[in-house]
Amino acid sequence: MNRFKKIFSSRGSKTNEELSKYIKKTTGLTPQNIDFYTTAFTHKSMGLKDDKGNSISYERLEFLGDAILGAVIAEYIFNEVPHGDEGYLTKMRSKIVSRDHLNELGMDFGLIALAKTQVPATNFGANVHGNLFEALVGAIYLDKGYNRTKNFIMRKVIKPYVDIPMLEGKVISYKSLLIEWCQKHKKTFKYHTYEDTGVNEVRHFSVKLSIDNRVVAKARGTSKKKAEEKASKRAYFVFQDKIQ
Protein backbone atom coordinates (compact mmCIF):
# COMPACT_ATOMS: atom_id res chain seq x y z
CA MET A 1 0.00 0.00 0.00
CA ASN A 2 1.57 3.32 -1.06
CA ARG A 3 1.32 6.62 0.78
CA PHE A 4 -1.66 7.76 -1.30
CA LYS A 5 -3.78 4.71 -0.53
CA LYS A 6 -3.15 5.34 3.16
CA ILE A 7 -4.25 8.95 2.76
CA PHE A 8 -7.44 8.16 0.90
CA SER A 9 -8.52 5.21 3.00
CA SER A 10 -8.46 7.19 6.25
CA ARG A 11 -11.36 9.17 7.70
CA GLY A 12 -13.82 7.82 5.15
CA SER A 13 -11.99 9.09 2.04
CA LYS A 14 -11.85 7.06 -1.13
CA THR A 15 -9.30 4.29 -1.70
CA ASN A 16 -7.25 4.22 -4.89
CA GLU A 17 -9.67 1.69 -6.41
CA GLU A 18 -12.70 3.80 -5.55
CA LEU A 19 -11.02 6.96 -6.84
CA SER A 20 -10.04 5.23 -10.09
CA LYS A 21 -13.63 4.09 -10.66
CA TYR A 22 -14.95 7.58 -9.93
CA ILE A 23 -12.48 9.17 -12.36
CA LYS A 24 -13.41 6.67 -15.08
CA LYS A 25 -17.13 7.24 -14.54
CA THR A 26 -16.78 11.03 -14.46
CA THR A 27 -14.24 11.61 -17.23
CA GLY A 28 -14.52 8.49 -19.37
CA LEU A 29 -10.79 7.88 -18.84
CA THR A 30 -9.13 5.04 -16.94
CA PRO A 31 -6.26 6.37 -14.81
CA GLN A 32 -2.85 4.86 -15.50
CA ASN A 33 -1.01 6.60 -12.66
CA ILE A 34 -3.44 7.13 -9.79
CA ASP A 35 -0.91 9.26 -7.89
CA PHE A 36 -1.58 12.21 -10.21
CA TYR A 37 -5.27 12.13 -9.28
CA THR A 38 -4.75 11.66 -5.57
CA THR A 39 -2.51 14.73 -5.62
CA ALA A 40 -5.20 16.60 -7.55
CA PHE A 41 -7.59 16.21 -4.60
CA THR A 42 -5.16 16.72 -1.71
CA HIS A 43 -5.40 20.07 0.08
CA LYS A 44 -2.24 21.65 1.48
CA SER A 45 -3.77 21.56 4.98
CA MET A 46 -2.86 17.86 5.06
CA GLY A 47 0.77 18.92 5.41
CA LEU A 48 2.00 16.05 3.22
CA LYS A 49 5.44 15.97 1.59
CA ASP A 50 7.10 13.70 -0.94
CA ASP A 51 10.44 11.92 -0.53
CA LYS A 52 12.29 15.11 -1.49
CA GLY A 53 10.43 17.27 1.01
CA ASN A 54 8.19 18.95 -1.56
CA SER A 55 4.62 19.73 -0.52
CA ILE A 56 1.91 17.44 -1.88
CA SER A 57 -1.25 19.39 -2.78
CA TYR A 58 -3.40 20.20 -5.76
CA GLU A 59 -2.03 23.74 -6.20
CA ARG A 60 0.71 22.92 -8.74
CA LEU A 61 -1.69 20.76 -10.77
CA GLU A 62 -4.21 23.61 -10.59
CA PHE A 63 -1.62 25.89 -12.23
CA LEU A 64 -0.88 23.32 -14.93
CA GLY A 65 -4.54 22.56 -15.58
CA ASP A 66 -5.34 26.26 -15.94
CA ALA A 67 -2.71 26.57 -18.69
CA ILE A 68 -3.86 23.45 -20.57
CA LEU A 69 -7.52 24.44 -20.33
CA GLY A 70 -6.72 27.94 -21.61
CA ALA A 71 -4.76 26.55 -24.56
CA VAL A 72 -7.52 24.16 -25.64
CA ILE A 73 -10.20 26.84 -25.30
CA ALA A 74 -8.06 29.34 -27.21
CA GLU A 75 -7.61 26.88 -30.09
CA TYR A 76 -11.33 26.11 -30.15
CA ILE A 77 -12.37 29.78 -30.31
CA PHE A 78 -9.68 30.54 -32.90
CA ASN A 79 -11.06 27.85 -35.23
CA GLU A 80 -14.73 28.42 -34.43
CA VAL A 81 -14.77 32.21 -34.93
CA PRO A 82 -12.46 33.01 -37.89
CA HIS A 83 -13.67 36.64 -37.99
CA GLY A 84 -12.80 37.33 -34.33
CA ASP A 85 -9.91 39.73 -33.69
CA GLU A 86 -7.45 39.40 -30.80
CA GLY A 87 -9.59 41.44 -28.41
CA TYR A 88 -12.69 39.38 -29.15
CA LEU A 89 -10.85 36.06 -28.79
CA THR A 90 -9.33 37.13 -25.47
CA LYS A 91 -12.70 38.20 -24.06
CA MET A 92 -14.40 34.99 -25.15
CA ARG A 93 -11.68 32.83 -23.62
CA SER A 94 -11.99 34.80 -20.38
CA LYS A 95 -15.72 34.19 -20.29
CA ILE A 96 -15.35 30.45 -20.83
CA VAL A 97 -12.62 30.01 -18.19
CA SER A 98 -14.10 32.55 -15.77
CA ARG A 99 -13.96 31.60 -12.10
CA ASP A 100 -17.77 31.30 -11.94
CA HIS A 101 -17.78 28.93 -14.92
CA LEU A 102 -14.98 26.77 -13.51
CA ASN A 103 -16.74 26.63 -10.14
CA GLU A 104 -19.87 25.44 -11.92
CA LEU A 105 -17.89 22.69 -13.64
CA GLY A 106 -16.28 21.58 -10.39
CA MET A 107 -19.67 21.42 -8.67
CA ASP A 108 -21.29 19.53 -11.53
CA PHE A 109 -18.46 16.98 -11.39
CA GLY A 110 -18.91 16.66 -7.61
CA LEU A 111 -15.16 17.03 -7.04
CA ILE A 112 -15.42 18.40 -3.50
CA ALA A 113 -16.46 14.92 -2.37
CA LEU A 114 -12.98 13.70 -3.35
CA ALA A 115 -11.04 16.36 -1.48
CA LYS A 116 -8.76 15.25 1.33
CA THR A 117 -8.39 18.14 3.77
CA GLN A 118 -8.09 19.10 7.39
CA VAL A 119 -10.16 22.24 6.78
CA PRO A 120 -13.92 22.05 7.50
CA ALA A 121 -16.00 22.18 4.33
CA THR A 122 -17.81 25.27 5.64
CA ASN A 123 -14.51 27.20 5.58
CA PHE A 124 -14.03 26.75 1.85
CA GLY A 125 -15.18 29.43 -0.57
CA ALA A 126 -16.89 28.65 -3.87
CA ASN A 127 -13.57 28.84 -5.74
CA VAL A 128 -12.44 25.49 -4.36
CA HIS A 129 -14.69 23.78 -6.94
CA GLY A 130 -12.95 25.49 -9.85
CA ASN A 131 -9.53 24.91 -8.32
CA LEU A 132 -10.19 21.18 -8.07
CA PHE A 133 -11.44 21.06 -11.65
CA GLU A 134 -8.25 22.74 -12.91
CA ALA A 135 -6.20 20.29 -10.84
CA LEU A 136 -8.12 17.39 -12.40
CA VAL A 137 -7.28 18.71 -15.89
CA GLY A 138 -3.63 18.93 -14.85
CA ALA A 139 -3.70 15.35 -13.60
CA ILE A 140 -5.28 14.09 -16.83
CA TYR A 141 -2.61 15.91 -18.85
CA LEU A 142 0.25 14.30 -16.90
CA ASP A 143 -1.42 10.90 -17.06
CA LYS A 144 -2.76 10.89 -20.62
CA GLY A 145 -0.95 13.61 -22.58
CA TYR A 146 -2.22 16.65 -24.43
CA ASN A 147 -4.42 15.02 -27.10
CA ARG A 148 -6.41 12.90 -24.63
CA THR A 149 -6.81 15.91 -22.35
CA LYS A 150 -7.99 18.03 -25.26
CA ASN A 151 -10.53 15.36 -26.15
CA PHE A 152 -11.77 15.33 -22.53
CA ILE A 153 -12.20 19.12 -22.53
CA MET A 154 -14.05 19.03 -25.85
CA ARG A 155 -16.43 16.29 -24.61
CA LYS A 156 -16.99 17.43 -21.04
CA VAL A 157 -16.56 21.21 -21.18
CA ILE A 158 -16.95 22.72 -24.63
CA LYS A 159 -19.80 20.66 -26.10
CA PRO A 160 -22.10 20.72 -23.04
CA TYR A 161 -21.24 24.16 -21.67
CA VAL A 162 -19.94 26.50 -24.38
CA ASP A 163 -22.50 28.48 -26.38
CA ILE A 164 -20.64 31.26 -28.20
CA PRO A 165 -23.69 33.39 -29.17
CA MET A 166 -24.89 33.32 -25.55
CA LEU A 167 -21.44 34.07 -24.18
CA GLU A 168 -21.04 37.05 -26.49
CA GLY A 169 -23.63 38.89 -24.42
CA LYS A 170 -22.31 37.76 -21.03
CA VAL A 171 -20.68 40.38 -18.79
CA ILE A 172 -17.56 39.03 -17.04
CA SER A 173 -16.63 42.22 -15.16
CA TYR A 174 -19.20 44.88 -14.35
CA LYS A 175 -16.45 47.05 -12.90
CA SER A 176 -14.45 47.03 -16.14
CA LEU A 177 -17.59 47.70 -18.17
CA LEU A 178 -18.64 50.59 -15.92
CA ILE A 179 -15.18 52.19 -15.88
CA GLU A 180 -14.96 51.94 -19.66
CA TRP A 181 -18.36 53.65 -19.98
CA CYS A 182 -17.40 56.41 -17.52
CA GLN A 183 -14.14 57.12 -19.32
CA LYS A 184 -15.84 57.14 -22.71
CA HIS A 185 -18.41 59.69 -21.54
CA LYS A 186 -15.95 61.70 -19.39
CA LYS A 187 -17.71 60.91 -16.13
CA THR A 188 -15.82 60.90 -12.83
CA PHE A 189 -16.04 57.78 -10.68
CA LYS A 190 -14.70 56.72 -7.31
CA TYR A 191 -14.79 53.51 -5.28
CA HIS A 192 -14.63 54.23 -1.55
CA THR A 193 -13.87 50.86 0.03
CA TYR A 194 -13.30 50.26 3.72
CA GLU A 195 -13.18 47.33 6.14
CA ASP A 196 -16.54 46.52 7.65
CA THR A 197 -16.25 45.90 11.39
CA GLY A 198 -19.72 44.44 11.79
CA VAL A 199 -20.79 41.40 13.80
CA ASN A 200 -19.80 38.82 11.15
CA GLU A 201 -17.04 36.38 12.08
CA VAL A 202 -15.71 36.52 8.51
CA ARG A 203 -13.96 39.74 7.54
CA HIS A 204 -16.05 41.93 5.23
CA PHE A 205 -15.52 45.09 3.22
CA SER A 206 -18.06 47.73 2.26
CA VAL A 207 -17.93 49.99 -0.76
CA LYS A 208 -19.67 53.13 -1.97
CA LEU A 209 -19.50 53.84 -5.68
CA SER A 210 -19.86 57.47 -6.75
CA ILE A 211 -20.32 58.70 -10.30
CA ASP A 212 -20.09 62.45 -10.92
CA ASN A 213 -19.86 62.96 -7.14
CA ARG A 214 -23.14 61.13 -6.48
CA VAL A 215 -23.33 57.78 -4.65
CA VAL A 216 -25.11 55.41 -7.02
CA ALA A 217 -24.48 52.01 -5.38
CA LYS A 218 -23.36 50.34 -2.16
CA ALA A 219 -22.30 46.74 -1.50
CA ARG A 220 -20.51 44.38 0.89
CA GLY A 221 -18.18 41.48 0.19
CA THR A 222 -15.55 39.24 1.75
CA SER A 223 -12.86 41.08 -0.23
CA LYS A 224 -12.42 44.57 -1.68
CA LYS A 225 -12.56 43.11 -5.19
CA LYS A 226 -15.86 41.31 -4.56
CA ALA A 227 -17.43 44.36 -2.90
CA GLU A 228 -16.41 46.65 -5.78
CA GLU A 229 -17.67 44.19 -8.40
CA LYS A 230 -21.00 43.84 -6.59
CA ALA A 231 -21.41 47.62 -6.36
CA SER A 232 -20.48 47.94 -10.04
CA LYS A 233 -23.15 45.41 -11.00
CA ARG A 234 -25.78 47.38 -9.09
CA ALA A 235 -24.62 50.61 -10.72
CA TYR A 236 -24.71 48.95 -14.13
CA PHE A 237 -28.40 48.22 -13.77
CA VAL A 238 -29.00 51.82 -12.73
CA PHE A 239 -27.43 53.03 -15.98
CA GLN A 240 -28.16 49.97 -18.12
CA ASP A 241 -30.17 51.78 -20.80
CA LYS A 242 -27.45 54.41 -21.23
CA ILE A 243 -24.59 51.93 -21.22
CA GLN A 244 -26.20 49.65 -23.77
Domain limits, the chain: 3-168, 174-243
Flag whether pLDDT at 213 surpasses 50: yes
Q: What is the edge-to-edge ordering of all strands in the sheet holding 189-196?
A: 189-196, 204-211, 214-221
User: Range with the lowest mean pLDDT among 30-44, 61-75, 193-207?
Assistant: 193-207
**pLDDT value at position 236?**
84
Our answer to whether residue 134 is catalytic in this structure is yes
pLDDT above 60: residue 234: yes
pLDDT value at residue 164:
83
User: What confidence score (pLDDT) does residue 207 get?
Assistant: 92
What pLDDT is attached to residue 5?
A: 40
Q: What is the pLDDT of residue 58?
A: 94
Residue 7 predicted with pLDDT over 50: no
pLDDT digit string, tens, across residues 187-204? 999 999 887 766 666 678
pLDDT of residue 33 exceeding 70, the answer is yes
At residue 12, the pLDDT reads 38
Confidence class of residue 45 from pLDDT cuts 50, 70 and 90?
confident
Share of the chain above pLDDT 70, in %: 89
Question: At 109, is the secondary structure helix, strand, or coil?
Answer: helix
β-pairing, 204-211 vs 214-221, is: antiparallel
What's the average model confidence in pLDDT over 100-107? Answer: 89
Instruction: Please say if the pLDDT value at position 11 is more than 80.
Output: no
Q: Which amino acid is at 73?
A: I
Query: Is 17 annotated in the active site?
Result: no
Q: Which of 3.40.50.150, 3.30.70.20, 1.10.1520.10, 2.40.30.10 would CATH assign to domain 3-168?
A: 1.10.1520.10
The CATH number that domain 174-243 falls under is: 3.30.160.20
CB atoms within 10 A of CB 126: 12
Average pLDDT for the chain: 86
Which residues fall within 8 angstroms of residue 73, CB to CB, at 6 or more apart?
93, 96, 97, 153, 157, 158
Q: How far apart are the first and last CA of the chain?
A: 61
pLDDT of residue 13: 54
CA distance 227 to 193: 8
Q: Averaged over 68-88, what is the pLDDT?
A: 92
Rounded CA separation 127/222 (Å) = 13
| Confidence (pLDDT) at 95 | 83
Residues 47-70 have pLDDT tens digits of: 888 888 888 999 999 999 999 999
Q: Which of 35, 66, 228, 229 is catalytic?
A: 66
Model confidence at 107: pLDDT above 50: yes
Q: What is the pLDDT of residue 169?
A: 67
Q: Does 36 score more than 80 pLDDT?
A: yes
In whole angstroms, what is the distance from residue 225 CA to residue 13 CA?
Answer: 35
Task: Give the active site residue among 35, 62, 134, 228.
Answer: 134
pLDDT at 71: 96
